[in-house]
A and B are shown apart, each in its own frame.
Chain A
Amino acid sequence: MSCSDLAERLELVLGEQLRDNELTALKAHVEGCEKCRDLLQACRGKQTLEQADSLVGEVLARTSGSTCSRVRSMLCDHVDQSLHEDNAALVQEHLNYCSSCTQLARVLEESAVALPQMASLDPGPLFTSSVLAATRSSQPPDKWALFLSHLSLVFQRPHFSLEAAYVGALLVFLVFGGAPVSAVGGVASAAFAGFQLNFAKVVRDTPAGLSDTWTDLYGSCENQLEGKIKATQGAVGRALETLQGSAEQLRAMSDEHLLKHAAALFQDATEKYEEYSRNLGSTEGSEDRPEETAE
C-alpha cells in the first residue's frame, strides 16, 4: 500500500471497514511511513502532547496571540486556589497542554511549601549564651540615662543656634556684667570683631560649594548682630542720660534740703545760745545780790 492508496481508503480505514489483507498492508505501510502514521493519529484524535501544543500554538499565534503571559499573571492565585472557578478551569485546561506553564506552576506549588520552612535556621548551641553575655553588660537605660543622652545631644556641637546663643550670652555678659559702663561701645565692638574673625576663618576653611551658603548666613547674622548692638548701645546711652539727670536733680534736691536743714540748725543754735546767754546773765545777778545784802 502506498501513501496515495491510504489517502483514498482513509474513510474505510477510519470506519474499520478494510479487508484483512488490506489491513495487513496498511499496518506494514504505516510502520514505515511517519507521515501516514501522524495523519492517522490526527484523524483519530490521538495527537501527542507536542503535536497538540504545536498546533494550538500555531493557531493562537495566527489569531489571539500566546496565552502563556495571561496564564502566568493568574498562576499564583491558581496555586493559592484563590482564583475564580471559571478562570481556574481555563487555566487548568491551559496547564494540561502547556509544559512550560505546568513546570512553573509545579515550582510555585513547591515554593509555597519550601519557603516557609526556610524561616527558622539553627544559629548553633552557643548563640543564646553569647547573646545573654553581650546584653548582660549593657543594661537597658533608665529614664535618667535617657534624659542625659538627650541632653548631651542638645549640647552636642557644632549647633549654629547654640553658637549664636553663646555669642549673644557673651555679649550680654560683657555689656551688662563684666565691663564698666563707660566701655560698652568698645567691648561690644571687640566682641563683634572677634565674631567676624572666627566667621571669616570658618568660611575660609569650608569647601567652595558651601562657602556661598556660609557667606549668606554670615551676612544675615552680621546684620542682626549689628542691629542688636546698636539697639543695646542706644538703650544704655538713654539709661545713662536718665541716670545723670536723676543725679543732678537729686543733688539739687539734696543741696536745698541741706541748706534748709542747716538754716534750721543755725536758727536753733542761735536760739539756744541766746537762751543760754540770758540764763547765764540772770545767774550772775542773783549770786552778787546776797553778797551785797550781807555787806
Chain B
Amino acid sequence: MGADERAVGSQLNLDAVLDRCRCGDELAWESLVRSYQSRVYGLAYHYVANREDARDLAQDIFVKVYKNLRKCPDANHFLPWIFRIARNASIDHLRRKRARPPSSQVSEMEVNSIADCSSDPEKHWLMEARRGLFRRALRMLTRLNREMIILKEIQGLTLEEMTGILDVPIGTLKSRSHRARLELAEKVLALSQGQEGAGL
C-alpha cells in the first residue's frame, strides 16, 4: 500500500469513496484524484518518458476513470483496474506519437520523485541521478520486460493482478519476472561502467 492509499484509508474507506464517487459526490472524486494522481502520473511517465506528455496523459486517464466509474470494481481491484486503463491509454498514446517523434527529450533530472524529499541537496541529486540511470536502463529493455518492471517492481502489483492487465499467462510472468530484473541490473551496470569510463 502506497502513501496515497494510506491517505485515503486514514480518512475514509476506499469502497465508501468509490460509492460516493459513483453517486456524483465531487468531494469524494477530488479525494480519489489526489490519492492516486502521483501513482498514475508515475506510471504514465514510465511509459511515455516525457513529463508534459505524461501529465496530459494522466489527466486523460482520470477523465476515462470518471466516465467509467460505474464499471469500477471494488476497492481490492481498484488499483489494477486504474492501472489497466492507464496502461492502455499510454500504449495508445505511444502508438499515436510514433508517427511524430518528440522534438526534445526532457532531462531525467527534471522529474521529482515524491518518495525522496531529502533536505540534503547533494544526496538528493545523487539519488535522482541513480534513478535516472535506472530509467534509462528501463527503456533499453524489451516491452514485456519493461512492463514487468514497471508494474511489479515499481508499482508493486502481484503476478495475478498483472495477468489481467497484460493478458499474459501467469506462468509466463513468473518465468519472466526474474529475467527482467536481471536484465535491468545488467543494463544499469553497463551504463554505470560506461559513465565511469567516460569520467562522469
Q: Which A residues are closer than 8 A to B by beta carbons?
A: 72-73, 75-77, 103-104, 107-108, 110-112, 114-124, 127-128, 130-132, 134-136, 138-141
- Distance, CA A271 to CA B41, complexed state (A): 112
- Distance, CA A114 to CA B55, complexed state (A): 22
Contact of A120 with B42 in the complex, beta carbons under 8 Å: yes
Mark interface residues in B1-27 (1 if CB within 8 Å of A CB, else 0): 011100000000000000000101010
Is the C-beta of B46 less than 8 angstroms from some C-beta in chain A?
A: yes
Q: Who on chain A is nearest to B115 by CB?
A: A117
Given contacts A111-B185, A123-B55, A132-B30, contact A117 B37 (CB under 8 A): no
Q: Which B residues are closer than 8 A to A by beta carbons?
A: 2-4, 22, 24, 26, 29-30, 33-34, 37-39, 41-42, 45-46, 54-55, 58-59, 62-63, 66-67, 69-70, 111-116, 127, 130-131, 134-135, 149, 153-156, 177-178, 181-182, 184-186, 188-189
Interface centre among B182, B185, B189 (most CB of A within 10 A): B185
Point out the residues of chain A lying under 8 angstroms from B186, CB to CB. Answer: 104
Contact of B154 with A118 in the complex, beta carbons under 8 Å: yes
Point out the residues of chain B lying under 8 angstroms from A141, CB to CB. Answer: 67
Contact of B134 with A120 in the complex, beta carbons under 8 Å: no
**7 interchain residue pairs of minimum CB distance:** A117-B115, A120-B38, A123-B41, A121-B42, A107-B185, A76-B178, A120-B114
Contact of A122 with B2 in the complex, beta carbons under 8 Å: no
Q: Who on chain A is nearest to B70 by CB?
A: A140
Point out the residues of chain B lying under 8 angstroms from A117, CB to CB. Answer: 113, 115-116, 131
Between-chain CB contacts (< 8 Å), 5 pairs: A108-B182, A118-B46, A120-B114, A128-B30, A132-B30
- Distance, CA A121 to CA B109, complexed state (A): 12
Contact of A135 with B156 in the complex, beta carbons under 8 Å: no
- Distance, CA A72 to CA B177, complexed state (A): 13
- Distance, CA A111 to CA B181, complexed state (A): 8
Contact of A111 with B134 in the complex, beta carbons under 8 Å: yes
Contact of A115 with B149 in the complex, beta carbons under 8 Å: yes
- Distance, CA A115 to CA B46, complexed state (A): 11
Q: Can you name 13 extra interface pairs (CB under 8 A) apart from A111-B134, A131-B63, A138-B63?
A: A104-B186, A107-B189, A114-B130, A115-B153, A119-B154, A120-B3, A122-B38, A123-B38, A127-B41, A135-B29, A135-B63, A135-B66, A140-B24
Contact of B153 with A116 in the complex, beta carbons under 8 Å: yes
Contact of B185 with A121 in the complex, beta carbons under 8 Å: no
- Distance, CA A131 to CA B189, complexed state (A): 39
Contact of A124 with B55 in the complex, beta carbons under 8 Å: yes
Point out the residues of chain A lying under 8 angstroms from B116, CB to CB. Answer: 117
Point out the residues of chain B lying under 8 angstroms from A110, CB to CB. Answer: 130
Q: Who on chain A is nearest to B69 by CB?
A: A140
Contact of A120 with B2 in the complex, beta carbons under 8 Å: yes
> When the two chains form the complex, which single residue of A114, A115, A121, A134 contacts B62, counting CB atoms closer than 8 Å?
A134
Contact of A121 with B38 in the complex, beta carbons under 8 Å: yes
Q: What distance in Å separates the Cβ of A83 from its nearest Cβ neighbour in chain B? A: 11
Contact of B188 with A107 in the complex, beta carbons under 8 Å: yes
Point out the residues of chain A lying under 8 angstroms from B154, CB to CB. Answer: 115-116, 118-119
Q: What distance in Å separates the Cβ of A120 from its nearest Cβ neighbour in chain B? A: 4
Q: What distance in Å separates the Cβ of A262 from its nearest Cβ neighbour in chain B? A: 79
- Distance, CA A231 to CA B34, complexed state (A): 68
Contact of A72 with B59 in the complex, beta carbons under 8 Å: no
- Distance, CA A73 to CA B182, complexed state (A): 8
Q: What distance in Å separates the Cβ of A68 from its nearest Cβ neighbour in chain B? A: 12
Point out the residues of chain A lying under 8 angstroms from B41, CB to CB. Answer: 120-123, 127
> When the two chains form the complex, which single residue of A75, A120, A124, A130 contacts B182, counting CB atoms closer than 8 Å?
A75
- Distance, CA A122 to CA B59, complexed state (A): 13
Contact of B182 with A104 in the complex, beta carbons under 8 Å: yes
Contact of B115 with A120 in the complex, beta carbons under 8 Å: yes
Q: What distance in Å separates the Cβ of A140 from its nearest Cβ neighbour in chain B? A: 5
Given contacts A76-B181, A77-B178, A140-B69, contact A121 B114 (CB under 8 A): yes
Q: Who on chain B is nearest to A124 by CB?
A: B55
Contact of A130 with B59 in the complex, beta carbons under 8 Å: yes
- Distance, CA A123 to CA B39, complexed state (A): 10
- Distance, CA A114 to CA B54, complexed state (A): 21
Q: What distance in Å separates the Cβ of B159 from its nearest Cβ neighbour in chain A? A: 14
Q: Who on chain A is nearest to B63 by CB?
A: A134
Q: What distance in Å separates the Cβ of B156 from its nearest Cβ neighbour in chain A? A: 6
Q: Who on chain A is nearest to B111 by CB?
A: A121
- Distance, CA A107 to CA B138, complexed state (A): 13
